[in-house]
Each structure stands twice: as structure tokens, then as C-alpha cells.
Amino acid sequence: MTGLSASPAPTAVATTATGPRHVAIIMDGNGRWAKRRFLPRVAGHRAGAEAVRVTVKAAADMGLQALTLYAFSSENWRRSSEEVSDLMGLLRHYLRKEVAELDRNGIRLRTIGDISGLEGDLIDLVRDGVERTKDNRRLDFVLALNYGAQDEMVRAIRDIALAVRSGAMAPEDIDPTTIEARLDTSDLPPLDLLIRTSGERRLSNFLLWQAAYAELLFVDTLWPDFDGKALAAAIADFGTRERRFGGR
Ligand code: IPE
Ligand code: IPE
Ligand code: MG
């Protein structure tokens, strides 16, 4: 391309005019929400589960293709056994109560992360929810459960190493596409917008590969206060961004 070329290649820049297809949220701040009210942390997690319910519904109404929510990280096992059991209890309660509603709303439930690390009955509940909603097409609601981006990449790399050892793949064949195909997100649209609530400005091992060119948004709202209006505001903010993908 000469230096005088005025118009960039059409594929080099994607505008955000069409809105994000895939939004992910690091749902943070439940503990602080509870603390401000002199309540136990579990009350914050309960309020957080309600915020999940309304935000998922709003995402479907707004026409998103995928909403990925960070519900439990591979590092969250480091919390007290009481808090871990409260979080697992809430997940159990949520799945038992909400899957029918997801299904009614045309929402497909999926997960990322290593669900084999969850308790047996929870694995069954997750599998049942995924199976029951698998034909829905309005929104992919992706729960990140026992998810860590480093763990996800380790699992993908091990899989590639096995393919190389067996001779099915040569080291030169490894490229971003081969890696992407083995990530938990392989059949989701590319990540457009990554939101973190509660004012923290870090990724905490969430979607590190997928965030390569995602727009990042950090909001002060504590997760239990997040709702459809907050999601709409985030999407409006995304609409003001110009994505370049290194192109210009
Ligand atoms: C997010 O809220 C919920 C999970 C990590 C499961 P926190 O529990 O991290 O709340 P803060 O960060 O202590 O306020
Ligand atoms: C990230 O939040 C995990 C989830 C939201 C599930 P954390 O509250 O666990 O992250 P750190 O510990 O503040 O980085
Ligand atoms: Mg936190």
C-alpha cells in the first residue's frame, strides 16, 4: 500500500455502529455491597444472583448474541469454605429455579471453565440446563464456572501437545486459529466488550486470550446494583469507541 492511499482496506477497521455481539462481565462487588449494609457477604451474593437474572433478560431483549458472566473463578476456591459453599448453594438454587425461565425466554445456557471440578449434583444440574436449552437461539448465556483463563490455555496447550506427540499435528501447524479452536469459547462470537463492575481495574484471570481486542469498560457500580439500564449504558459507551485491530 502506498503512503498516499486514502481509504483503508474495508476489513481493517470494524465500526461499533452495529453494537456488540458478545459482552462479558466480571461481576464484582457483592461483598462490598453487603458490607455497606452491615449484612453478611452471602446477602451480597444473593442480591448478585438477582442482578444476574435481570441482566440476562435485558441482554436477550437488547438483541445481544452472547453474554458471558464470570460467576466463579478457579482462584475463588481460596475463599473461606463457608463462602465457597454459600456460592455453590446459590448456583444450585439459581439453576433449579431459573433454567425453565431461560428456556421460556429462548435463551441457551452454556458454560466455560472446568465444570468437572464442581460437586457432582451441580455438574448434573449444569448439564441438564445446557441440554434443556440447547435449541434456543435468542441469546447465548455463558456462565464461567471454575473458570480461569490460564487454566483454559493450559488445557488447550495440553491438547495440542498430545496431537503433536501422536503425529496428528506438526509444531509449525500451531497458530492462533489452532489455539482458539481449543479454547472453551471456540464456538462463541468474538468478545467485543468486557465490563468489570465495582471499580477494580484488573482482569483477574478472565478471558485473557479473548480480550486481545475487546473494548474494556470499568464501572464503579457494585454488581448487585447492575441491571438492564447499566447494560444499556455500557453498550452506548461501546458505541462511541473506534476499534482499529492494529489496522491504522
Ligand atoms: C463477586 O463479588 C462475586 C464473586 C467473586 C463470586 P465479591 O465477592 O468478589 O465482592 P467483593 O469484591 O468482596 O466486594
Ligand atoms: C473475579 O473477582 C472473579 C469473579 C467475579 C467470579 P474476584 O473478586 O475474585 O477478583 P480479585 O480477587 O479481586 O482479583
Ligand atoms: Mg471481588
pLDDT of residue 248: 80
132 Cα–ligand 3 center, Å: 31
Contact between residue 77 and residue 84 where contact means Cβ atoms under 8 Å apart: yes
C-alpha cell of 79? 475463599
Strand order in the sheet with 215-218: 107-112, 139-147, 66-73, 22-26, 193-196, 215-218
Give me the pLDDT at residue 18, please. 82
Q: Quote the pLDDT of residue 191.
A: 98
Among the listed residues 61, 76, 128, 237, the single catalytic one is 76
Stretches where the chain sits below pLDDT 50 are: 1-16
| Domains assigned to the chain | 22-238 (3.40.1180.10)
**pLDDT for 11:** 45
Residues facing 32 on adjacent strands: none
The pTM of this model reads 0.93
Cα–ligand 3 centroid distance for 138 (angstroms):
30
Q: Which pLDDT does position 17 carry in this prediction? A: 60
The candidate with the shortest Cα–Cα distance to 33, out of 179, 223, 240, 230, is: 223
**Structure confidence by residue, pLDDT tens digits, 79-125:** 999 999 999 999 999 999 999 999 999 999 999 999 999 999 999 99
Q: How far apart are CA 203 and CA 223, in angstroms?
A: 15
Is 220 a known active-site residue?
A: no
Q: Is the CB of 184 under 6 A from ligand 2?
A: no
Helix (H) or strand (E) holding 184: none
The per-residue pLDDT for range 127-141, each reduced to its tens digit, is 999 999 999 999 999
CB of 149 shorter than 6 A to ligand 2: no
Please give the Cα distance from 167 to 81 (Å, whole number). 44
- As a whole number of angstroms, the distance between CA 161 and CA 147 comes to 21
- Is 76 catalytic? The answer is yes
Half-sphere exposure (Cβ direction) of 192: Cα atoms closer than 13 Å: 24
